[in-house]
Structures are given as C-alpha cells and as structure tokens.
Amino acid sequence: MRNIGFLTIGQAPRPDLSAGIEAALPATARVRHAGVLDGPDPAREAERLAAVPGRPTLITRLATGATVTLDEAAVGEALQARVDALEGEGVDAVVLLCTGEFPALRARRALLVEPDVLLTTYVRGVLSGVQVGVIVPLPEQVAAARDKWRDVTPTPEFATASPYAADETELLGAARELVGQGVEALVLDCMGYAEWHREALRAGGVRVPVLTSSGVTGAMTGPLLA
C-alpha cells in the first residue's frame, strides 16, 4: 500500500487538479491532501506570498473560487515546510499540483514528483522536432516560461489564457492563435488546465494534439507508484 500526498500551492483539497492523477494510481493507494494556503486565514496567507512585479508569478484558486497570484520563490519556501510535514506523516510520495519550477525543493525520503520536470522531459522526448505551442495562464509568466522551455527544439511559441476563466473563449482564442502560427501540438502548462479544457479545444475545432499537465503527470507517475 502506498501513501501519496498531493500538495497544492493553494488550498487543499483540489480534486480538479488531482483527479486525473489519482485515476492513474493503484486502487490500494491512500491519498492525503495539503496546501500552502491551508489554515485559518488563507486570504491573509495569500497576501503574504503575493506576486511581486518583475518576479516569476504563479496563479491558484482559493476555496471560495477567488483566484490569487503568488510569488514563485516565496511559494517554494512555503512548499518545503509542507513537504517536510507530509514526510513526517509517513507519505511515500509527494506529488506537486503545480508546474512551477522549485529547484531548491527537496524530500528526505519520499519520492518527490515535480510536474514541470515531467512535462518538459516528456515533450523533449516524445515531441522532439515538433513545433510546440505552450499556453500559460498569465502574460507575466511568458518570460519565465521561455526560460523553462529553452531546451525544447524548435523553440516553442507562447500564448496566454487563464484556466480559471468562466468559459473556454480565452483558451480557444490562444489555441487558434498558436495553430495559426504553425504549431503542431499544444501544451497547457498549468495544473489548472483540466481534461475539460482539452475537450473544449477539440469541440472548438482545434485538431492538433493537446497535452495537459495533469494528464502527463498521471501517465508518468502511475507506474512509479504501482
């Protein structure tokens, strides 16, 4: 039996982020959820970790449905405390529910699953030589995304669309823009993009392959935890 900890940068639980990955886990797995913004006053904690102009930014959602933007470096420090706590509770693996880059994050004993590493590795291997279009939630994230995807060739094209928009209009516009630029596959680079986003693109006439972060994470993580 495996004990799996799902760790979000917002409030836990986030079944909209974890469901696809959980579906790939063995039936005997025990799952627990934790979040950086858990506690008596999540809004105040979000203010403490708020995005800083000119620095890498992350987006997440509170239990109220409100979206907040956070400073990536500050979130990384807060995540470490949560990883340590989950290890203290005996989890065998910690699965991050975020595609941000946290190079200093460590686990002493448990397997640490980092979707940003899985996603870029998968694209470099499976889509080598394919012109990829990457969609991220916010315009201010594009610069960091370009650096994150710098080892992918040909150089990806980028567009933005929030996964927390009321409908798929913004996402469809971003996808069509990229397809118009000649991209041959789309990567939705945020755990907030769910399977319904991929289906909405299909329904909207987008015919190139579409990868979601949670889909790739589930496919690559499930066998490791069997």
- Tell me: domain 3-113+216-225, CATH 3.40.50, correct? yes
List pLDDT tens digits, range 141-159: 999 999 999 999 999 999 9
Q: Give me the residue spans of the domains in the chain.
A: 3-113+216-225, 117-214
Task: Write the Ramachandran bin of 57: left for phi over 0, alpha for psi from -120 to 50, otherwise beta.
Answer: beta
Superfamily classification of domain 117-214: Response regulator (3.40.50.2300)
| Ranges of H-type helices in the chain | 15-22, 42-48, 72-88, 115-126, 142-148, 169-180, 195-203, 213-221
Q: How confident is the model at residue 222 (pLDDT cuts 50, 70, 90)?
A: confident
In this chain, the answer to whether the domains covering 3-113+216-225 and 117-214 adopt an identical fold is: yes
pTM for this model (two decimals): 0.94
pLDDT for 1 beyond 70:
no
List pLDDT tens digits, range 90-142: 999 999 999 999 999 999 999 999 999 999 999 999 999 999 999 999 999 99
List pLDDT tens digits, range 27-59: 888 999 999 999 999 999 999 999 999 999 999
- Closest alpha carbon to 114 in 129, 94, 144: 94
Running DSSP on this structure, what letter comes out for residue 223?
Answer: G
